[in-house]
C-alpha cells in the first residue's frame, strides 16, 4: 500500500511537469474517495461530460484515494496551483470558509428532508462566500450520516469516554470541545484511520457508513452506534482562476452538467447508505440501537460542550442561527421530521 501511494504521488509530480497539449486545459482534481466508490464514479462521469461538451479541450486528471493528501492538503495544493479542483468533505470546505460548519453542527439536522430544505436555501450565500475566497462550487454532495464506529460497544456517550477517538488533525477547537466534555481525541489525517486502528492509536472514529465500508475501516472497529451525529456533506469545487480560464460560452453548460451529476450522486448515496450498513453487518458489524433517552444524552453533549466551543469561535453565530431558523421552519411545516 505504501509503495502504491508513493508511485501515485510521484506520477502526480511528473504529471505537473509534463506539458499538456496546447489546445487542452488540464484540470487536476484530488479526492479522498477511493476507487469503486460512488463519489469517484460521479466525478469520472462529470469529467467525461465536460470533455464531450468542450470537444476534448478540457481534460481532467483525477487523483483518488487520498494519493495527493487528505482535505487540508488538497486545499493547500489548490491555493498554490498544484491542483485546480477537488471533491471535498465539509472539513476541506471549512478550511476555506468556517461558515461551512453551520450545515454540519452535531445533532442539529436529523433528516435528509431537513438537510435539503436548509441547504437549498443556504447554498447561494455559502457559494458566494466560497467564491469570494477563490473557489467555485460545481456541485454539493452527500456522504450519508456520520455515526460513531468503535472497537467496543457504544450505547451512551459515557461509553465513548475511555476510548481514543479519532479527530481530523489540525482543528484545535474540536479537540478542545471533546476534551472539555471528558473524551480522549487523537489527531490523525483521515488517510491514517485504518493504520491508526490497527496500531492501537485510536479505537473509535466518526464516519458515514459508506466511507467506513469503502475504506474497510469497519474491519478494525466492528461496533456502530446508530445515532445520526451529523450529515456528512461536501462539494466539488474548482479554483476561480481555473474556472475563469474556461471559455465563457460553455461555462453554464458545464455547471449544469456538474449539478446534475451532484443530484444523481445524492440520490445514489442515500440509497447506498443503508445498503452499506447491511453489507458490513454481513461481515461482522454490530449495530448498537440507541433508545430515545440515549439519543437525548448525545444531544446534550452536542449542545452543552460542542456548541459553546464552535458557535462564535469556529463558525459565525449568525450563520448557525440562519440554519437553525430554516430547520425550525421546515419542522413547523412538516411535524415529526425531527425524529433521528
Give the pLDDT of residue 36: 86
Query: Which CATH superfamily does the domain covering 2-333 fall into?
Result: Bacterial extracellular solute-binding protein, family 7 (3.40.190.170)
pLDDT class of 238 with cuts at 50, 70, 90: very high
The mean predicted confidence, pLDDT, of the chain is 90
Give the pLDDT of residue 170: 81
pTM for the predicted model, two decimal places: 0.85
Give the pLDDT of residue 337: 52
Give the pLDDT of residue 24: 77
Helices marked H in 162-239: 172-180, 193-199, 209-214
Is the confidence at residue 67, as pLDDT, over 90? yes
Give the pLDDT of residue 23: 59
Average pLDDT over residues 312-323: 95
Query: What CA–CA distance (Å, rounded) separates 234 from 226?
Result: 21
pLDDT class of 336 with cuts at 50, 70, 90: low
DSSP SS3 for 63: strand
Tens digit of each residue's pLDDT (9 = 90 or more) over 90-139: 889 999 999 999 999 999 999 999 999 999 999 999 999 999 999 999 99
Tens digit of each residue's pLDDT (9 = 90 or more) over 167-224: 988 888 888 889 988 999 999 988 899 999 999 999 999 999 999 998 999 999 999 9
Least confident of 21-30, 188-197, 221-230, 272-281: 21-30
Is the confidence at residue 80, as pLDDT, over 90? yes
pLDDT class of 289 with cuts at 50, 70, 90: very high
Burial of 163 (0-12, 13-18, 19+ CB in 10 A): buried
Give the pLDDT of residue 2: 40
Give the pLDDT of residue 335: 64
Torsion of CA 95, 100, 104, 105, to 10 degrees: 100
Q: Which H or E run includes 169?
A: none
Q: Are 236 and 85 in contact (CB under 8 A)?
A: yes
DSSP per-residue string spanning 251-271: HHHHHHHHHHHHHHHHHHHHH
Give the pLDDT of residue 245: 95
Give the pLDDT of residue 27: 97
pLDDT class of 78 with cuts at 50, 70, 90: very high
Amino acid at each position: 500500500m505504501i509503495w502504491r501511494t508513493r508511485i501515485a504521488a510521484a506520477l502526480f509530480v511528473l504529471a505537473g511537469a509534463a506539458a499538456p497539449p496546447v489546445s487542452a486545459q488540464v484540470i487536476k482534481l484530488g479526492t479522498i474517495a477511493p476507487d469503486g466508490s460512488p463519489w469517484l464514479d460521479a466525478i469520472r462521469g462529470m469529467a467525461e461530460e465536460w470533455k464531450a461538451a468542450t470537444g476534448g479541450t478540457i481534460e481532467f486528471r483525477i487523483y483518488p484515494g487520498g494519493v495527493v493528501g487528505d482535505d487540508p492538503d488538497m486545499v493547500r495544493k489548490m491555493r498554490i496551483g498544484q491542483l485546480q479542483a477537488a471533491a471535498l468533505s465539509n472539513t476541506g470546505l471549512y478550511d476555506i470558509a468556517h461558515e461551512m460548519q453551520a450545515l454540519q453542527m452535531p445533532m442539529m439536522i436529523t433528516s435528509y428532508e431537513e438537510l435539503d430544505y436548509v441547504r437549498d436555501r443556504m447554498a447561494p450565500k455559502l457559494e458566494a462566500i466560497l467564491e469570494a475566497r477563490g473557489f467555485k462550487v460545481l456541485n454539493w454532495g452527500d456522504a450519508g450520516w456520520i455515526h460513531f464506529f468503535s472497537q467496543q460497544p457504544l450505547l451512551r456517550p459515557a461509553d465513548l469516554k475511555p476510548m481514543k477517538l479519532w479527530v481530523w488533525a489540525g482543528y484545535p477547537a474540536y479537540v478542545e470541545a471533546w476534551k472539555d466534555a471528558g473524551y480522549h481525541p487523537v489527531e490523525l489525517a483521515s488517510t491514517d484511520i485504518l493504520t491508526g486502528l490497527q496500531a492501537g492509536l485510536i479505537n473509535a472514529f466518526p464516519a458515514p457508513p459508506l466511507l467506513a465500508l469503502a475504506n474497510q475501516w469497519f474491519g478494525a472497529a466492528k461496533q456502530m452506534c446508530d445515532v445520526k451525529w451529523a450529515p456528512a456533506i461536501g462539494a466539488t469545487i474548482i479554483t476561480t482562476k481555473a474556472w475563469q480560464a474556461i471559455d465563457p460560452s460553455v461555462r453554464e453548460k458545464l455547471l449544469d452538467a456538474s449539478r446534475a451529476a451532484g443530484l444523481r450522486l445524492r440520490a445514489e448515496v442515500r440509497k447506498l447508505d443503508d445498503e452499506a450498513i447491511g453489507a458490513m453487518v454481513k461481515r461482522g458489524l454490530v449495530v448498537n440501537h440507541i433508545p430515545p433517552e440515549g439519543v437525548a444524552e448525545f444531544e446534550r453533549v452536542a449542545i452543552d460542550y460542542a456548541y459553546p466551543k464552535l458557535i462564535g469561535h469556529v463558525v459565525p453565530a449568525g450563520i448557525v442561527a440562519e440554519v437553525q431558523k430554516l430547520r425550525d421552519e421546515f419542522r413547523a411545516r412538516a411535524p415529526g421530521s425531527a425524529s433521528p
